[in-house]
A and B are shown apart, each in its own frame.
Chain A
Amino acid sequence: MTETSYFASLLGGMAIGLAAAVMMALNGRVAGVSGILSSLWRQAPSMPNVAFLGGLCSAVLIYRAVSGEVPAIHVQASPALMILSGLLVGYGSRRASGCTSGHGVVGLARRSPRSIVAVVVFLASGIATVGVMRMVGLP
């Protein structure tokens, strides 16, 4: 990886942090994607949540219009594994009451003990999963 990609990763991360900070200070809410998405069926529709998801969806279109580039997406897993992993990510994020954004960004920023545990656990199981897949020869 080049220095440019480190810088882009840092800059992108800071934008994610800004989005979470704005959500917290202005709306008083956690910018957690799994919580916001599942709020669509857990409670009466909340316009700020719908707008957040709309903004999230339109970001790539705006990025493409401004930069003229399509963001790189390389899928390695087979369709069957993508479906299995989608089920696990969906079920697991709700069971843990949060995902990479709610626990990983906002929770860590709040120094929440629950989020620190969640991040350590999902990083460890993610690292172990990639390692095991490499060992058994899966892409």
Chain B
Amino acid sequence: MSLVRTIVGGLSGLVFGLGLTVSGMLDPARVRAFLDVAGPWDPSLAFTLCGAVLVASVGVWLSGRMSRPVFDDRFHLPETRTVDDRLVTGAALFGVGWGMAGLCPGPAIASLVLGIPATLFFFVAMVLGMALHDRLSIRSVWRTRSVDG
């Protein structure tokens, strides 16, 4: 079962990465043009978001009709329900970085193999930022156990 889950994970990552590549999400300039609603706005990545949510919704709908996932005993879904300040401030900080660079975690990882120095800097800093957060939150109360994504 574990081997099958590993194969599913690999295929999912591959299809995810191909989707990012084909859609234009890998290009920081395209992402920033999508966010530049006051300037020469490029709405094409809105189609990416809508297409992704639409198809993922089918998966969610199917999963809702299943008692358990095909290759595991139960679904592992986030349990946190409340909208708290961590969610809002975290998303706000994330958006500032996303707007400045035009990169988010998926494209930053997928473009690693191209070896572009600026995106490598971004990736290393991103990992440090993540690890810093996790280090600090272990020290206080471990409230981040439930992970949305």
Contacts and interface: CB of A to CB of B under 8 A. Distances in A.
Nearest to A12: B23
B14 A103 contact: no
Contacts, number: 534
Q: How large is the interface on A (under 10, 10 to 19, 20 to 34, 35 or more residues)?
A: 35 or more
Contacts of B127: 37, 90
Given A15-B18, A109-B53, A125-B95, A60 B63 contact: no
A92 to B, nearest CB: 3
A14 B14 contact: no
Count class of interface residues, chain B:
35 or more
Contacts of A29: 69, 72, 75-76
Interface in A10-50: 10-35, 37-39, 41-42, 47-50
Nearest to B74: A28
Contact of B86 (A16, A48, A85, A95): A95
Interface in B100-148: 100-106, 108-114, 116-119, 121-134, 137, 144, 146-148
